Each structure stands twice: as C-alpha cells, then as structure tokens.
Homo-oligomer: A and B are copies of this chain.
Amino acid sequence: MCVQPESSDRLALGLDFGTESVRALLVDLKGTERSSSAVKYEHGSITETLPTTGEMLPPDFALQHPGDWVEASCQAVRDALEQAGLTTGDPTAAVVSIGVDFTSCTMLPARADGTPLCLCDEYIGEKYAWPKLWKHHGAKTQTDRINQLARERNEPWLKHYGGVIGLEWFFPKVLETLEKAPRIYDETDVWLEGGDWYVWQLIGADQPVPRSTCIAGYKAMWSAEDSYPSPGFFKALHPKMANVVKDKMPGTLIAPGRPAGTLCATMAKQMNLCAGIPVSAAIIDAHAGVPGVGVGEPNTLVMVMGTSSCHMLMHNEAVEVPGVAGIVKDGILPGYIGYETGQAAVGDAFDWLRRMLNHDSFDTLTKQAMTVPPGCQGVTCVDWFNGCRTPLMDGTLTGAFTGLTLNHHAGHMFRSLLEASAYGVRWIVEVLEAGGVPVDRFVATGGLPHQSPLLMQVYADVLAKPVMVPGTRQGPALGSAILGVLAAGEAVSGFASTSDAVKAMAGHMEKTTYTPNDAVKSAYDQAYHRYRLQVDRIADK
C-alpha cells in the first residue's frame, strides 16, 4: 500500500546509465544522499562477439543488450532501497520522483509494443538489430554522406552543430542499418534512443513514446523551431528514408524536468516501488551532470570526465560556433543556450595506455609521470585514440606520440597523454571564446577527477585557471534526481524554479579546488603550441 509520506522523508530517485553499469541514487530534497548502488551490465559493452551466436563483430562495432538496462537498473533500485532501509510496505512510498540519464547516442530499433528487435526470435542473431552504443563507429561512410548532402543543400540545422554532424549520432546509425541490413530497417516500427526507450518502459509501452528534447536536440538534429530535418533531405539521402520521422519515429517530445508519465505497475513491481511515481523525460548522462554538481549559472564549463569527456556550458545567447557539436536552446537547463563539446577518449585512453605499458594499476605510472617536467621534455601526445570530437568531429582521426627519443620512458608516455587531454580542453576553450562564448570557470566531475590529482593539477596549469572538483562522484545521478523532482512539480517538491532546486539539492557539496601554478605556465604554453602543430598534421590526412 502506497501512502504519501511526510515532506521530510521525501526521496528522489536518480538513475544514471553509463557505458558499463547503471547507478541508482536515493537523495532527499535537501540534497542529502540516502543510498546509492551501481550494478554492472551482464554483457557490458559488446565489441567482440554477438552474445547470442558468437559471431565475430567488425572492429568498429559497439553494441549493448537492452535486457541489461532493465535487469541492472531494477537490481540497483532494489539495492538502494534496501540500503536506505526501505524494504517493505509504506516506506517505499517515500520515493516521490524518478529521473533518468543515459549515454547517447545509444539507440535501437523496436517493435510498436516496445520490444527491442534484437529480443525477437527472428532477429536475435542479426547484429544490426542490436542497440548501437554511443561509441559504435560503423557509420563512417554514412556520416560523410549526410554531411556532404547537408552542405550541398545548405540545410538550416547544420549551423547548430558547427557545420558537421558526428559519426556517433542517431541518423548515421539509422542509415547504416538501412544500408547494411535493409530487412531490419523495414521491420522496425520505432527507432529511438536507449534513454527514451527506458523511460517508455518505466511509464508503460501503452503510452506514447516519450522523446527527450535534449537527446533529440543534441543527437538527432531536432530543434524546437524546425523539428527534425525535412522529408526532402531524408529522401535525397535514401529514398526509403523519406518518411523515417513520420513512419518510424512516433512519440512526443518532452524536455528533461517535465513529466513523461508515471511509473507503470510492471516496472514498479520489479523495483519494489509504488506505481504512479512521476517520471521525467530522459537526459543525456553528461548533461545531467551540470545541475548534479550545483551549476545553475552560465559560462561555467562543466567537464564530465569518464571513459570519454563531455564538456557543457550554458550561455545567455545563441551564437554559432564552428566546431561546437551541439548548440541547443534549453538543452541543459531551461532559460539558457546549452553548448556541448567533448573528447572521445579520456579514461578509456588512460586505461588503454596502462594496459599497453603492462601495469596493473596507475600507481607506478603516476609516480613516473610526476618525475617528468611539464611539457614532457619534447614528447607530444595527440589523444585521438577514439577519433576527435570537438572541434573536428571526425571519428576516423587517430592518436599519436611524437618527439620520442631513447631518453624517454613510460612516465613520459603517460604524462604526455594526461597533458594531451588538458590541451584538448584548452583548444575547446579557445574555440568557444573565439566564437564569442566566454568560459569563466571550470568544474570537473565524473569518475576521473577523483582518481588523479595529478591530472587535475595538469588541467589547472594548462588552462591557467582554477579547476573545481565537487566531492560527489554522482553528479549525473544527482542531476537526474533533480530533474525527476522538477518533473514531479512544485506541489510535490516545493521548488518554484529550476535554479532553486539545483541550489537546494546540489549547492552544498564539498569540493576541492586545483589552483594554477604560474611557474609552469610558459612550459605548458610551448608544449600546447607543439600539440596544436601535431594536431594540424594529423588532421591534414
């Protein structure tokens, strides 16, 4: 039996879907964490073989199992409830809202009833029926053709994305499927984002498909003014795609922080929750991090640093900035223009190099890197090991280590990668500021900033600005919880505005601030110059 609880006991549930695991966070409306649980996906990122058939996947493939999203999230919610002492009966009614953030563009084909095609017997062995993870890179030629056609037709939406759309986005992945597995395209009733699919499951598949304006705006060339690209564009791209939006993308566009519906009985049962709890539309995981670290003001760059980095910034005006991937009105928080930039390999690259250099942990490499002076004695790394997101938006670009001599060692390799990551941010800041968007403050969040004080000091030194690291490791989860509360409405939350909610629930957290060291500025300036030269050489393929 579900009874409305006292206001002091009201809890918000935030669900944060990452690349390898999902986290459930229970937090009260003052921002105090009650409990948290992370559960790994059984199949993780699927990059080697298809789980059902064992078929070897091409090297640019990265898939996920939609069953993992449901199984792992329900487990995480049950764990979090248990940790919070909310195991049976009324106490579960304390949960008053659900917010969801998700990796993007992670997308899939589904039946009209919400069943993912890859879970239908007839498609279970067909790799193109599976959800494509954000870092799936199978749509290279399709991306090129979309960009070329858009430029030829001077498509109005192109300017929102710095003049080029990305390899990892929604329509390249749709077109890839159409061309590589036309039967899958034909049999798909609903193409949609993983985050939208999950919220649809939460509210019940009898409801209209709840499509996030944030995700559509950042990954599917949608805008409030112009909707999706026109049928004329899609027809020119591929005759069968002319009506892809009308025929295969049903649903309602809803902003994060607005209600998508309420928790259905089926999912409520699996989560040990009450049916009827308000559910917000989904938001991209990185974007949830902005309110999640207490940032409600413009011109602060929030760097969400995990396997990859997504950097977000709000600004009062919409300015076209060449090379900036997503400029979306209300794309992060209402009232501001959201600017999204990113780096495609950060923690992924650190981990890859650690394995390459045959170390079990980062301890020794970090110690060795600290013996190397800023600028790495001439070694320059270009960190494009998973392509370049901002500002070149080219997933086919590759990484490099240059300037190496027999006098260098593993510490130089590792430090040069940390520095490259910082130079990448500095470049992004220069691109934004040259485009008229000032970057006044830096906040670093996600898993990495807590793991490497050295990395954060390098960032502060290279950017020549303080970098603030919030104490929470759960920025996106807290941000999605805040958006869930907003979706539940003022009557439930008592918050009159978005910024009130951000301030109340994420304004008091502990933080560490890394301060730039003036003594190393010129060494980093020189090394950054070398980095930009290398970058130009590699980009000039």
Contact = CB atoms under 8 A, between A and B. Distances in A.
Nearest to A400: B402
Count this chain's copies in the assembly.
Answer: 2
A341 B408 CA distance: 26
A345 interface: yes
A405 B399 contact: yes
B357 A386 contact: no
Contact of A357 (B356, B399, B400, B401): B356
Interface string A348-375: 1100100111110000000000000000
Interface in A404-426: 404-410, 413
Contacts of A348: 406
Nearest to A349: B406
Contacts of A402: 398-400, 402, 538
A375 to B, nearest CB: 14
Max chain B C-beta neighbours (<10 A), residue from A356, A386, A403: A356
Contacts of A404: 385, 398-401
Contacts of A345: 406
A537 interface: yes
A378 interface: yes
Max chain B C-beta neighbours (<10 A), residue from A349, A359, A398, A406: A406
A26 to B, nearest CB: 35
Contacts of A401: 400-401, 404
Contacts of A403: 398, 400
A358 B355 CA distance: 10
A54 interface: no
Nearest to A399: B404
29 contacts: A59-B407, A349-B406, A352-B406, A355-B409, A356-B408, A356-B410, A357-B357, A357-B358, A357-B410, A358-B358, A358-B359, A358-B410, A385-B404, A385-B406, A386-B406, A398-B402, A398-B404, A398-B405, A399-B402, A399-B404, A399-B405, A400-B400, A400-B401, A400-B402, A400-B403, A400-B404, A401-B401, A402-B538, A537-B537
Interface of A: 59, 345, 348-349, 352, 355-359, 378, 385-386, 398-410, 413, 537-538
